[in-house]
Structure 1
Amino acid sequence: MGSASNAELAPLLRKLESIATLSDPAREAVAALPMTVRVVEARHDLARDKDRPTHCCVVLTGWACRCKLLDEGRRQILSFHVPGDIPDLQSLHLKVLDHSLGTVTQCRVGFLPHEALRELSVRFPDAASALWRDTLIDASIFREWMTGIGRRTAHGRIAHIICEMYLKLHAVGLAENDRCPWPVTQTDIGDALGLSNVHVNRVLGDLRAQGLIGPRERDLVILDWDALRALGEFDETYLHMERKAAA
């Protein structure tokens, strides 16, 4: 573990400024938050269902996810999280976690004390507003995922999540020119969208055959954004981004 420098908090600032406007004093206060940084390997827990955390986790590098674990090892992924996200921000006000939080890839994770976040919110109302807006956008994303799982086809669900994650990465400067990191496995996608591994593999093959995404490789390449967007019935309004890319 180690203490964070201001540079470590750049992903959080980029994320907040993609969804809200911060004054210079608020930006400086966010950059000065006390934070302990830890490298966590892939597929490890950051917090567990029923935990009572005293800090919030901010993803600095890598991908994380929220999930619920059911009987016999079954898992429902509730959301994916990329650098700048604070996936357990609700723990600032809800004492007991009702889900688990874990890494998808190796991550650098910052741990922000609840006390420091509360003080920030009191001293800087625009920072408090940005954090509140972030939780509201989380709820908006949950509604969109529920709609997709309940009513979209498998092709539509996968097209939609590709569009969503591309824009989230683009907003924090981690995607450009229709190319973005894509470290999630077919199993991860299936656990997020209620699909079998075989079904996910078939749909991804169809999207490649139709020329919507590129051949299988480490990064995801979107070849036809308009067609992918139409297939997923994707309307980015629910992401409530003030700016799609960080300066």
Structure 2
Amino acid sequence: MHTAVLHYLDPFVDKIETRDRLTEEEREALYALPQKLVRTAARSRIVEEGERPTHCCMVLEGIVYRSKLTASGQRQIMSFHVPGDMVDLHTILFKVADHTIETVRSAAVVLVPHGAVLRAAEEYPALARAFWYDTLLDTSIHRETLLNVGRRDARTRTAHLLCELAVRLKRVGLVNGGRFELPLTQIDLADALGVTPIHMNRVLARFRKEGLIVVSGRSVTIPDWKALVAIGEFDATYLHLEGPSDLHL
């Protein structure tokens, strides 16, 4: 058995093995990939749109996001990523980054060279499937995000995003008693949900008044999970988790 000491890629291995059990050889092949741990400050850009990345990035600690800018400088956050997410496997084949990857607050990411990932995929079909699955999961989340921003009102889309983040953070053990750290500003949420910061403030204030969320510093508590799920029309099927989609915090 592999050592019990935390390995940088353990969160990604855990994510894979919620679906498919790896053999010891396959697991060790992942652990043997060259890796570089990078600790970042808040608002650090890991990849800049237009760059030619040479490494894939796995989130070890913190939250990172993908974003794009309009010609006038308006930001749209495309997705958030939590520990265990391999954010940009697609850059192995897409040589030029078509979006920016940035940290929310201080974070730790693990960089793995493209060539090493590609060789592992070629040598171990199970790892190739795992990498492929991860990119397909990203696409599934993007489809739901498009529906959320394009067809749901601000109240519904806000509840939906909070539910999604809660479920994804719970999967990696970062929710305790319905409470989780969410170091996003109202501007971040507004840019992810396609509303103005003023409108975002009003939605969140109403949620707090109704007792749907409790905010304390950078932490959020969801006292009534079923109520928030109903408001957000949230069905976690698109996250392709093991087990029921109506998850309780």
Q: Same fold (TM over 0.5)?
A: yes
Report if aligned partners of 1:171, 1:243 keep a CA contact under 8 Å in 2: no
Structure 2 match to 1:22: 22
1:53 Cα offset (Å)? 1.1
Taking structure 2 as the reference length, what is the TM-score of the superposition?
0.91
SS of aligned partner of 1:68: strand
Aligned: 1:36 with 2:36? yes
Paired with 2:43 and 2:73, the residues of 1 have a C-alpha distance of: 14
What residue number does 1:228 align with?
228
Return 17-26 or 7-16, whichever deviates more. Answer: 17-26
Shift of 1:214: 1.4
- Identity within the alignment, %: 44
Show the counterpart of 1:57.
57
SS at match of 2:50: coil
Please tell me whether the aligned partners of residues 19 and 240 of structure 1 are also in contact (alpha carbons under 8 angstroms). Answer: no
Report the CA distance shift for 1:109/1:215 in structure 2 as closer, same or farther (over 3 A). closer
The equivalent of 1:131 in structure 2 is 131
CA contact (8 A) 1:23 1:126 kept: no
Structure with more contact order per residue of length (Cα contacts < 8 Å, sep ≥ 6): 1
CA RMSD of aligned residues (A): 1.8
Provide, for residues 148-169 of structure 1, a one-character-per-residue CA deviation record: whole Å limited to 9, x for no partner.
1111111111110111111111
Deviation at 1:71, TM superposition (A): 2.8
Cα distance change, pair 6–243 in 1 and its aligned pair in 2 (3 A): farther
* Counterpart code for 1:237: T
Report what 1:157 is aligned to.
157
Instruction: Report the alpha carbon displacement of residue 18 of structure 1 after superposing the two structures with TM.
Output: 3.5
Stretch of structure 1 that moved more, 19-28 or 122-131: 19-28
Structure 1: which 5+ residue stretches go unaligned?
none
State how 1:78-227 maps to structure 2 within 5 Å. 78-227=78-227
Q: Which amino acid aligns with 2:149?
A: I
For normalisation by structure 1, the TM-score amounts to 0.92
Would the aligned equivalents of 1:65 and 1:79 in 2 still touch at CA under 8 Å?
Answer: yes
Structure 2 residues without counterparts, runs of 5 or longer: none
Give the C-alpha shift of residue 23 in structure 1. Answer: 2.8
Give the aligned residue type for 2:7.
A
